[in-house]
């Protein structure tokens, strides 16, 4: 905690590459990266293709492990977790929104948003359903709750993905190019939605984006370049 602000996430001396270390094919992506995120902060990650933005997000979200270094979340060393502990951590502590919504086509919107709850405790209780209803109404898709993804627009599917990401009340929402597959109007709606929900619910938001409009809505923006993150504003 610094100046009364609680640190939520810290990446310490992170190294990550792909291929066989020492071989000609090995490609370092992040090297010596140090970065921290305070609770409730909204941060954009920008950089050219191949700079490691998705790798960065995957490490921050415990979807991958660094070659060396530590990922610390709320004082817990995530890098020391077993695979089972990592899966539980991701489901309970984090929310994810990707460029593609990844909704299950055979399930209704309502069923899709409650899936993370069922993964954790097998049955959604009254408070889970009330929270889902609140979020669906907040995002403007309550009336579509009994429809399946094929019956929804791209924007509606992506809003559903946001609700699903928030259903377990995470402290951190990670978004990888969340507006990349949307038209300009729906991209603007989703950008407002992500930043507004983050602010209102006190949820930290880290989003990788190529969209200047979305990056401009963040509290801070970091440029990933040559394996390190540099603050831009």
CA distance 72 to 50: 25
In a domain, 146, yes or no: yes
In a domain, 30, yes or no: no
* Domain extent for 98: 41-65+80-231
Number of domains in the chain: 1
Q: Is the pLDDT of residue 22 over 90?
A: no
Task: Calculate the average pLDDT of the chain.
Answer: 91
Q: What are phi and psi of 128, to 5 degrees?
A: -60, -45
Q: What is the mean pLDDT of residues 227-233?
A: 87
Chain-centre distance of CA 6, in angstroms? 19
Reduce the DSSP state of residue 19 to 3 states and report it.
coil
Determine contact, residues 139/161, Cβ cutoff 8 Å.
Answer: no
Q: Which token pair is 55?
A: 């790798």
Q: What share of the chain is helix, strand, coil (3-state, %, to 5)?
A: 40, 25, 35
Element containing residue 118 per DSSP (H, E): helix 109-121
Which residue do the tokens 């979305």 mark? Answer: 214
Determine contact, residues 174/59, Cβ cutoff 8 Å.
Answer: no
- pLDDT tens, position by position, 169-224: 999 999 999 988 888 888 899 899 999 999 999 999 999 999 989 999 999 999 99
CA distance 112 to 92: 16
CATH of residue 124's domain is: 3.40.50.300
Q: Which token pair is 185?
A: 């109007």
In a domain, 10, yes or no: no
Model confidence at 1, pLDDT cuts 50, 70, 90, reads low
For the ranges 1-15, 140-154, 171-185, 189-203, the lowest mean pLDDT is seen at 1-15
Instruction: Return the sign of the alpha-carbon dihedral for residues 63, 66, 72, 78.
Output: positive
Q: In the chain, what is the greatest distance between 2 CA atoms, to the nearest angstrom?
A: 56
In a domain, 22, yes or no: no
In a domain, 124, yes or no: yes
In a domain, 17, yes or no: no
Q: What is the pTM of this model?
A: 0.91
In a domain, 93, yes or no: yes
Instruction: Please name which of 200, 209, 224 lies closest in space to residue 40, comparing C-alpha atoms.
Output: 200
In a domain, 9, yes or no: no
């Amino acid at each position: 905690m610094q100046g009364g602000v609680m640190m939520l996430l810290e990446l310490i001396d992170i190294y990550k590459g792909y291929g066989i270390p020492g071989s000609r094919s090995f490609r370092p992506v992040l090297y010596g990266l140090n970065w921290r995120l305070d609770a409730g902060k909204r941060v954009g990650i920008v950089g050219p293709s191949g700079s490691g933005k998705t790798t960065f997000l995957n490490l921050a979200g415990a979807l991958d492990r660094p070659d060396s270094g530590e990922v610390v979340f709320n004082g817990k060393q995530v890098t020391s977790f077993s695979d089972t502990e990592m899966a539980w951590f991701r489901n309970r502590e984090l929310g994810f929104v990707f460029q593609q919504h990844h909704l299950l086509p055979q399930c209704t919107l309502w069923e899709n948003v409650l899936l993370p709850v069922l993964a954790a405790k097998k049955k959604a209780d009254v408070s889970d359903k009330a929270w889902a209803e609140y979020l669906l109404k907040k995002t403007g898709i309550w009336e579509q709750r009994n429809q399946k993804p094929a019956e929804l627009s791209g924007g509606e599917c992506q809003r559903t993905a946001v609700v699903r990401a928030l259903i377990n009340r995470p402290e951190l929402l990670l978004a990888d190019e969340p507006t990349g597959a949307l038209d300009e109007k729906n991209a603007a709606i989703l950008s407002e939605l992500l930043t507004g929900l983050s602010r209102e619910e006190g949820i930290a938001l880290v989003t990788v984006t190529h969209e200047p409009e979305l990056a401009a809505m963040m509290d801070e923006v970091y440029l990933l370049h040559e394996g390190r993150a540099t603050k831009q504003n």
